[in-house]
Structure 1
């Protein structure tokens, strides 16, 4: 059976998952990549280093976000949401959001203290001067959700 997720089911899926996909479009180019995130309505919070995704979102802040839960080919849930990128520049907000991201994604890591590319390490010297971590949020303004499950 195919169906639509309710608002509550979409909220639950966004809160339960830790990895989604963000799609951006700028200068005639479309780009989609997976991200780790934290959801707190109406925002998706995430972080990244400088690169194509950040460059594109700075040029065109309108983005699309997708998250799913796939048990098998005939049993899945998916949410697609549209919103707007906003770079977080306030230092206190950046620190608070980064701590939230760390607490959310570290339970899924085999070695929680060894991820300098995410700004997560036991030694600050591992990060060095070359990694600038950009904290951003996506303010979701609309979403849709679908599911499929067998009728057994």
Structure 2
């Protein structure tokens, strides 16, 4: 059976996951990448090192965000969000996002774009130009979800 998820079900799926995919478009190119995120009930927060994805979202802030719960080929739930990228530039906004990340992801092993306290681990004698993570949020314009559930008779 195929069906649509309610807004409340979509929000639950966003709240209960921490890896999603963000899609951005600029200059005739589409990019879809996995990201670690936190959903606070209003915004989707992300952190990323400056690069192609951030550059694209700065040029065109309209993005798509998608997350799944997959139990099997005929048992899944998927949520798609259309929204707007906003880079957090004030210390207060960044601090709020950092707190959300730490509270939600503390039990997990954290990588360099997620853990604000983690230093980049580099082999000895390696010169690496450190990049500061960009903290951003996605405001939700539209949210929709679909599901498939196998029906046994």
In the TM superposition, what whole-angstrom CA distance separates every residue of 1:56-75 from its partner, at most 9, and x where no partner exists? 00000000000010011110
Length, aligned pairs only: 147
Is 1:41 aligned to 2:41, yes or no?
yes
Matches of 2:19 and 2:79 in 1, distance apart? 12
Matches of 2:85 and 2:43 in 1, distance apart? 10
Contact 1:42–1:141 (8 Å) recurs in 2: no
Is 1:31 aligned to 2:65, yes or no?
no
Match of 2:75 in 1: 75
Match of 2:9 in 1: 9
Match of 1:59 in 2: 59
TM-score (norm 2): 0.87
Contact 1:48–1:135 (8 Å) recurs in 2: yes
Q: Map 1:67-146; keep pairs closer than 5 Å.
A: 67-109=67-109, 112=110, 115-121=111-117, 130-146=130-146
Contact 1:36–1:105 (8 Å) recurs in 2: no
1:42 to partner: Cα distance: 2.5
Matches of 2:82 and 2:116 in 1, distance apart? 29
User: Which runs of 5 or more structure 2 residues have no equivalent in the other structure?
Assistant: 123-127
In the TM superposition, what whole-angstrom CA distance separates every residue of 1:89-147 from its partner, at most 9, and x where no partner exists? 011220221121123223232xx5xx34544446x586987121110000011011000
Matches of 1:12 and 1:130 in 2, distance apart? 36
Contact 2:50–2:134 (8 Å) recurs in 1: yes
Name the Cα RMSD after superposition: 2.0
1:41 to partner: Cα distance: 2.8
Matches of 2:9 and 2:113 in 1, distance apart? 33
1:7 to partner: Cα distance: 1.3
TM-score (norm 1): 0.88
Match of 2:20 in 1: 20
User: Which runs of 5 or more structure 1 residues have no equivalent in the other structure?
Assistant: none
